[in-house]
């Protein structure tokens, strides 16, 4: 693939010689390769014809006496197949008449054997000059086309000055995609004015889970691993970020030039927008909501990580993505601040005084939860979704906001901010792809959820990227499934604080297995629900676990000693199962 740092230049000739005379062949090879030309020597006429008609050379030399004077016809054949090629006839003095015939059939001239180096260079000089003129003309035409595309791109990028840096990044990524033909296009900008961390501010096209908050080297490694090109956005030695460009077959020179032009314009605009945001960054509070600024969040998170490392403390963070499903577009096309204000106020109402909520950009927030482990983060996540109307009793009164939340904890999910944010964003994406909204499970009681899953799990359209977040079906003897449940509970307790909810009855069940497994456990809350109280749950087995390292649910039906079940680690699904268990057995479970 052509590098974005170099423009392709090739002023040499591609020469093919179809000649049996060894002295002539060696002379031509030395002369042309010394001049920097590409040279191929074919001793057989058939081989030479095949190469000349398939490889589009600039010059071909043909010894006309080859194959009983078939070389004469070869001159005409090559000219017919490759119109732009210059074909020279080579002949010994006794075959000069054949060479004359070859020239009359379209040959560019004839050279007598034995050859001299000066004769060869003189013969191709006109071809070299014509080729140089053609390449110069093509470069000018390409530059004109690039200038036309760049002019439109400059106009569109200039219009970004009235927008936020995130909106400008999205527009610039779209422009780069259209101008260069790249797919995908990723735009990385510094997290704050002087930060060495990069944030993925815009992504156009399909790609494989790029890092969203990372150091420059991590971004470069990702681009290298995927064979993507990296375009630094630089203007007057001021680097405003990076564009990562994916090309299927290679980069055309015109696209390189256009990308570089757009990169300079984008750097200027992004630098100006960055300066504008930096002028407001001294304030702790975001001007559009009651949340803190992103710069303040990065500063506090850095101190929290340092404190956690030195004192072996825990903390958690969440990424919260918000989109307005029903809000009308504004007259000037700028997105409404409605999601920012509503969600910020709602989230703040669920937080402790020590928690830090920051607005990253339109529709995205980061939440820092000091001294909070996995179970606490899970509870915070559940409260946010419930209060914003996504889950719980208020979901049918939703204000039209679509909210997804992903959480990550230190040190279980990572030891630096970039890794923790990437994990949290991945879990938010997994939550967006959850089976709960896709199968509308939130509209069903517990037993209908079980039956719906037993019938539908295993469909080919499920997203493979989210692994064990996707429901998986099992069919095993009931004791084996109980053993699986006990193993999940035992593993959960190793991580620390654990909450367990399970069905139970007098005989062998998941509940009895869980009770035995938790007998010697510390910091474990267990809620066993007596199935005999609910007739429709006679053959139902359910387990829901909320632990430091995640959430897990297993549920199914037992028939003649065999259990058909579904299990997964989707937090949204686990929340729903806990809620439905409480509703089925008339108890309030969870927070």
Spans of the chain below 70 pLDDT: 1-11, 142-143, 145-150, 192-195, 237, 249-257, 275-288, 324-340, 390-401, 458-468, 520, 591
Sign of dihedral through CA atoms 522, 523, 524, 527?
positive
φ, ψ for residue 508, nearest 5 deg: -75, 125
Is residue 319 within 8 A of residue 425, CB to CB? The reply is yes
pTM, 2 dp: 0.60
Starting at the edge strand found earlier in the chain, the sheet holding 562-568 runs: 472-477, 562-568, 550-559, 540-547, 498-504, 524-530
**Residue 278 pLDDT:** 58
**Residue 284 pLDDT:** 63
φ, ψ for residue 146, nearest 5 deg: -65, -45
**Residue 338 pLDDT:** 53
User: In a 3-state reduction of DSSP, which class is residue 123?
Assistant: helix
- Beta strands 315-324 and 364-370, pairing class: antiparallel
C-beta neighbour count of 582 within 10 angstroms: 17
Starting at the edge strand found earlier in the chain, the sheet holding 364-370 runs: 292-293, 356-361, 364-370, 315-324, 401-410
**Residue 5 pLDDT:** 40
**Residue 389 pLDDT:** 73
H-run or E-run covering 201: strand 197-204
**In the chain, what are the domains?**
14-115 (3.40.50.2300), 147-280 (3.30.450.40), 292-432 (3.30.70.270), 438-585 (3.30.870)
**Which residues, including other chains, have CB under 8 Å from residue 559's CB and lie 6 or more apart?**
539
Q: Which residue has the tokens 């200038």?
A: 147
**Residue 150 pLDDT:** 65
């Amino acid at each position: 693939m052509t590098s974005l740092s170099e423009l392709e230049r090739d002023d040499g000739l591609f020469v093919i010689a179809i000649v049996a005379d060894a002295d002539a062949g060696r002379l031509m090879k030395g002369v042309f390769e010394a001049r920097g030309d590409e040279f191929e020597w074919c001793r057989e006429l058939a081989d030479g014809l095949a190469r000349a008609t398939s490889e589009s050379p600039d010059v071909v030399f043909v010894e006309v006496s080859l194959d009983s004077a078939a070389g004469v016809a070869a001159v005409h054949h090559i000219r017919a197949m490759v119109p732009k090629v210059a074909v020279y006839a080579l002949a010994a003095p006794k075959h000069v008449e054949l060479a004359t015939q070859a020239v009359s059939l379209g040959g560019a001239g004839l050279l007598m054997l034995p050859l001299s180096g000066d004769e060869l260079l003189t013969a191709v000089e006109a071809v070299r000059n014509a080729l140089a003129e053609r390449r110069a003309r093509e470069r000018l035409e390409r530059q004109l086309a690039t200038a036309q595309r760049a002019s439109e791109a400059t106009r569109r990028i200039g219009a970004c000055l009235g927008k936020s840096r995130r909106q400008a990044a999205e527009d610039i990524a779209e422009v780069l995609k259209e101008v260069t033909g790249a797919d995908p296009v990723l735009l990385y900008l510094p997290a704050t004015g002087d930060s060495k961390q990069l944030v993925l501010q815009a992504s156009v096209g399909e790609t494989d889970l790029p890092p969203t908050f990372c150091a420059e080297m991590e971004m470069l490694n990702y681009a290298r691993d995927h064979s993507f090109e990296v375009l630094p956005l630089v203007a007057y030695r001021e680097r405003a970020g990076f564009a990562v460009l994916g090309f299927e077959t290679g980069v055309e020179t015109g696209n390189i030039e256009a990308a570089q032009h757009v990169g300079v314009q984008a750097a200027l605009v992004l630098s100006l927008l960055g300066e504008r945001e930096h002028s407001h960054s001294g304030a702790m509070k975001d001007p559009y909501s009651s949340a803190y600024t992103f710069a303040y969040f990065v500063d506090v998170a850095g101190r929290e990580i340092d404190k956690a490392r030195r004192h072996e403390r825990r903390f958690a963070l969440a990424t919260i993505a918000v989109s307005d499903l029903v809000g009308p577009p504004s007259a000037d096309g700028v997105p409404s601040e409605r999601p920012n204000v509503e969600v910020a106020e709602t989230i703040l109402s669920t937080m402790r005084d020590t928690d830090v909520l920051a607005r990253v950009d339109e529709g995205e927030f980061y939440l820092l939860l000091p001294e909070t482990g996995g179970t606490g983060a899970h509870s915070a996540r559940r409260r946010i979704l419930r209060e914003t109307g996504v889950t719980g009793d208020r979901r049918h009164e939703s204000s039209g906001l679509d909210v997804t939340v992903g959480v990550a904890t230190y040190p279980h999910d990572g030891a630096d901010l970039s890794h923790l944010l990437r994990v949290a964003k991945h879990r938010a994406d997994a939550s967006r792809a959850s089976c709960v909204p896709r199968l509308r499970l939130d509209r069903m009681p517990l037993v209908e959820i079980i039956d719906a899953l037993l019938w539908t799990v295993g469909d080919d359209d499920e997203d493979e990227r989210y692994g064990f977040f996707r429901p998986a079906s099992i069919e095993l003897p009931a004791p084996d499934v109980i053993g699986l449940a006990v193993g999940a509970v035992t593993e959960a307790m190793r991580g620390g604080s654990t909450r367990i909810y399970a069905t139970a009855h007098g005989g062998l069940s998941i509940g009895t297995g869980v009770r035995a497994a938790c007998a010697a456990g510390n910091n474990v809350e267990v809620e066993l629900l007596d199935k005999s109280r609910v007739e429709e749950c006679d053959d139902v087995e359910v387990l829901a676990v909320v632990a430091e390292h995640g959430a897990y649910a297993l549920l199914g039906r037992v028939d003649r000693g065999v259990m058909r079940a579904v299990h997964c680690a989707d937090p949204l699904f686990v929340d729903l199962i806990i809620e439905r268990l409480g509703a089925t057995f008339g108890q309030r479970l969870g927070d």
